[in-house]
Every structure is written in structure tokens, then in C-alpha cells.
Chains A and B, each alone.
Chain A
Amino acid sequence: MTSPSKDKPALSRRGFLSAAGASSVALPLVAEAATKPSTGRSIAAPKPPDPAQVTLRVNGTEHPLSLDVRTTLLDALRERIGLMGTKKGCDHGQCGACTVHVDGKRVLSCLTLAVMVADRPVTTIEGLARPDGRLHPMQQAFIDRDAFQCGYCTPGQIMSAIACINEGHAKTDAPIREYMSGNLCRCAAYPNIVAAVKQARDLMEG
């Protein structure tokens, strides 16, 4: 795993965890892979395919990458580009934590191959605030309405909530609940999420 290549502060929580994780986890995994015998299940493993050269357009910035074609958009964002805001929850399209926008539509980045969205505009949670740091109305609404506890599902909730309004599915509480049902919240902050969506809707449509 490569660490994010963005300009780094002296020491951040994320930078510390990332570095600590790399040093303590990577070595045992390598050792295990080298010594563990094959599990015996018949794997007619074809040779790993040649990497694909793709350019991802994320939040207005182009990222030329050399990728194993198996790389999901989620893993490319987090592990190759260093945008950790998009979260990996179930990794099977059941929780919505990985929701991003592609061509302006909300999709699940865990079930999207990065090569399939090459050259198409991708927006993540990091792309919402203005350059001066002012938050998107939906981000502000989630803070104002206390629409999270642990925060893990929040980036996906916010990306979904913005799409929900853009799609015209946020007129009343019932459609908001229905059209936010693809984003699970284990802390059950649902009532406050509905309140946040309504607050942001009035500002976004106002």
C-alpha cells in the first residue's frame, strides 16, 4: 500500500495510522504468503493480466494510473489516489458507504471497476467543499442536525443525499426515507439524516 502523496502536515492521525499499519501488517502478510502451502482448491489461475493505463478524473483533477484491471474505483480512490473520504463498508454493494458520483449520478464505487469509469467525471466527498473551505450545504446540514454518530457511513450518506435532491426525490419525508434506503447507518441516525436532507434541500433549491 502506498501512502497518500498529497502535501503532508507534520503528523496527522491518518498519516500516523497509515504508517503504523504499513509497518506492522505488511511484513507478516508477506511472510505468510511465502510459507503457506496452497489450499488445494483447483485454481486454474491465469497469469495476472497486464496493468491497464487509465486516467481517472476525480474532483476535477486528472490522475493517470497504471492499474490491475481488478481494481475497484473504491480501492483506486483510497489506495492509489489517497482520497480516504470514500469508505469501504461491506465491499459488496449492500451498505452504501462507498457512494460517489460518476457523471453526476450516485453509484457504488465498490462494484465499479476503475477501468470502466476512465475519463469520466468522478466526485467524492472531498470534492464538495469550496476551495476556500466553505462546506457544501449538505455537509453543513449534517453537522447542524447532528446527523451522525460514528461518522463512518456519513460520506456515503452525504453523496447519496445530494443526489436524492438532484433527482427530485426529496419533496417529503417518505420519499427521502425511500430514496436514502441504499445507505445504512448502524448508529441509526436516520431521523436526523432526514432532517439534514430537508435543511440542505431548501438551501440547494432555494
Chain B
Amino acid sequence: MRPFTYERVSNLDALRARGGDGTKASRAFVAGGTTLFDLMKLDVMRPDSVIDINPLSASDLGGIQASERGLRLGALVRMAEAADDPHITHDYPVIAQSLTLAASPQIRNMASLGGNVLQRTRCHYFRDPSWANCNKRNPGSGCAALEGMNRIHAVLGASDDCIATYPGDFAQALIALDAVVEIQGRSGRRTLAFEKLHRAPSDTPQIETVLEPGDLITAFMIPATAASRRSAYLKIRDRESYEFALASAAVALDLADGSVRDARIALGGVATKPWRAREAERALIGKKLDEEAARRSGEIAFAGATPREHNVFKIALGRETVARALLRVAQMEV
């Protein structure tokens, strides 16, 4: 690791005029460190200054609050804590499952929810600085993945400059449930639809979110709806555990008399950012959720897919993942 200064902050006021994303502004917040220190050892992230925000756990950043209206998850809550919370496993199963199926037990004890949604892509060319051409790491240098080993790369939301997959799971559960993210900025706290947090790569893949320097995610708010309890996360990967998704689907349904009143589908492992498949959702409204409807929805979800040489399989796998997740959720007893 390159040298950096380390500082620990114990209150939010001390954070004003500090912070950054670590790639450009050269200041990085750290909670669990499972992404940051990994990428600093690889020389991919090079912050001059690391600000340890863990003492803020004593504030509302460290708490889980469940009410009839919804759920508030503090950004410093650890993945394992949220995954095992009885309110979450019972009333928001897609949230609990997306966390339990991610990473390893050790990493889930360390990684915070705020850091989780900001984890960086697993693109080999991004993570290995011996490759000069990565537009995300080194803007304007090109993309080695376009003609390289792109089996794990995205088929949705890709651009000519970047096809790196957003690697997380929890974010898909959040967008499926219309979560809101709360952000502490230099001028106070603000909220934003979580779906608007991440950006597609377009021609600026180095800019992954709409966060400004100094912004800190403080919480996620998830509204309780008829669909949030009838929800699940299906994750397909090369091995059964401790692996990133090749395709995943966060699905939530509101069923009335056997037909679909509300449907939410978010896709992981196949897109450049947490991906909401709204057309695929719309096709289900008012229909009976049988195998045919589920398959049709899966096909619509991947209608705009743009595969590369080694990831064509993700279209068939993704369609099947959506269909299977829908059928599983339709059969849940809630």
C-alpha cells in the first residue's frame, strides 16, 4: 500500500469539508475496509487520506429501526447483523437473502451496508493495474475487456467504454423495494431514490455514482409494501457459496386472487449497475403468474441485452433466473 494518513472521526460535524471516493479526490472513508484495503493493496485505489468512520456507529448510522411504515438501516450496520435481524428475515426476505448469499461470514461481519453498495467491480482488467487500458481506473485509456476475457462482464447497460459488471447483491434488493438512500453532504442531509445512486458507465465509467466529494451515505429507508414480504433473492454462480453472481434476481410480488397487482424485478451479475427491469415487471401486471408469464417476463428483461464474445450465456441464464425467481416468489406462503 502507498502511504496515507489515518484519522478517526467520532461525529458528523467533524466530517464536513472532508471525504471523497478514493480514486480521484484522494480521501476515502473506511468502515469494514473489505473493498478499500483490497484495492489499495492492488494499487487500484490510492487515497492520500483514510478516514475511519466506525465511531459513528454510536449514532443512528449504527442502528436498525423497523416500524409498520418501513425499515431504516443505518449505513454502518454490518451485513451479518442485517442478514440475521428477525424483522428483516420475516418482513423483507429479499434484503436478508441478498446479504446472506453474499461474500463470506468473515466479510459479512466486517463490511458495512453503506460500503457494500459502493463496492467496486470485479472486472479483472480494473483490478490489475498491469493492464494499462481501463477507462474506469485510467480514464481515456480504453477497455481491455471489450475484446478480452469478458465472461463475467455485463450484457445490460454496457457502453463502448466499459462493460464492467456491478458486483453486489444487496443493491438489487434495495432497488426492487423502492428504497431511499440518505446522504450526509457538506450542506446537511438529503435523500435520493436509491435507484438514482448508481450511474451507467456511458463515456465516463470512472464516475460510478452521483455522490459528490465529501458525501457519506448515512442510511437506507425501505417502505413496507404488500410486495416486500413476498420477496426473494435468487443468485446463480460458478460455485454454491462465497462467489459473485453470474446472474441474480431480486423479486417482489403483490398477488390478489392469483393475479399480479404489483411486481418488482431487479437484476444482478448481468448489468453495469443495479438494474431494475421495469418492462418485465409491467408485462406481469393483471396476469396470472404461471410458467408462461414468468418466462415471458424473463425474455423481456433481456430484450435489450448486448453480449460480447464470452458472456452470451448470461442472456439465457438471466432469463431463466428471472423466471425461476418469479415462480418461487409466487409460491411463497406469506
Would you call B34 and A167 a contact (CB within 8 A)?
no
Assembled-state Cα–Cα distance A96/B54 (Å): 23
> Which A residues touch B283, using CB under 8 A?
none
> Smallest CB-CB separation from A68: which chain B residue?
B3
Query: In the complex, A164 Cα to B109 Cα: how many Å?
Result: 12
List the A side residues contacting B242 at CB < 8 Å.
181-182
Q: Which B residues are CB-close (under 8 A) to A105?
A: 109
> Contact between A49 and B241 (Cβ–Cβ < 8 Å)?
no
Considering the complex, give the chain B residue whose CB is closest to the CB of A71.
B1
| Alpha-carbon distance between A43 and B1 when the two chains are bound, in angstroms | 12
Does B2 lie at the interface of the complex (its beta carbon under 8 Å from any beta carbon of A)? yes
Chain B residues whose C-beta falls within 8 Å of the C-beta of A47 in the assembled complex = 3
With most chain B CB atoms within 10 A of its CB, the pick from A45, A99, A113, A167 is A113
Contact B110–A112 (Cβ < 8 Å):
yes
Count CB-based A-B contacts (< 8 Å). 83
Q: How far is the CA of A69 from the CA of B47 in the complex (A)?
A: 13
- Number of residues on chain A facing chain B (CB within 8 A): 35
Closest residue to A164 on the B side, CB-wise?
B105
| Residue A171 at the chain B interface, CB threshold 8 Å | no
Which one of A108, A116, A178 lies within 8 Å of B34 (CB-CB)? A108
User: Given A45-B2, A49-B4, A111-B110, is A106 in contact with B41 using a C-beta cutoff of 8 Å?
Assistant: no
A93 at the interface (CB under 8 A from B): yes
Given known pairs A49-B4, A69-B5, A111-B37, the reply for A116 and B54 (CB within 8 Å) is yes
**Contact between A46 and B3, CB atoms less than 8 A apart:** yes
Residue pair A45, B105 in contact (C-beta under 8 Å): no
CB within 8 Å of A: which of B86-115?
Answer: 103-107, 109-110
Choose among B5, B103, B105, B240 the residue that contacts A167 (Cβ–Cβ < 8 A). Answer: B105
Contacts of A79 in B (CB 8 A): none
Q: Which of B4, B48, B52 sits near A116, CB closer than 8 Å?
A: B52
Interface pairs A-B: 5 shortest CB-CB: A182-B104, A181-B241, A69-B6, A181-B242, A48-B3
Task: Report which B residues bind A (CB closer than 8 A).
Answer: 1-6, 30, 32-34, 37-38, 41-42, 48, 50, 52, 54, 103-107, 109-110, 240-242
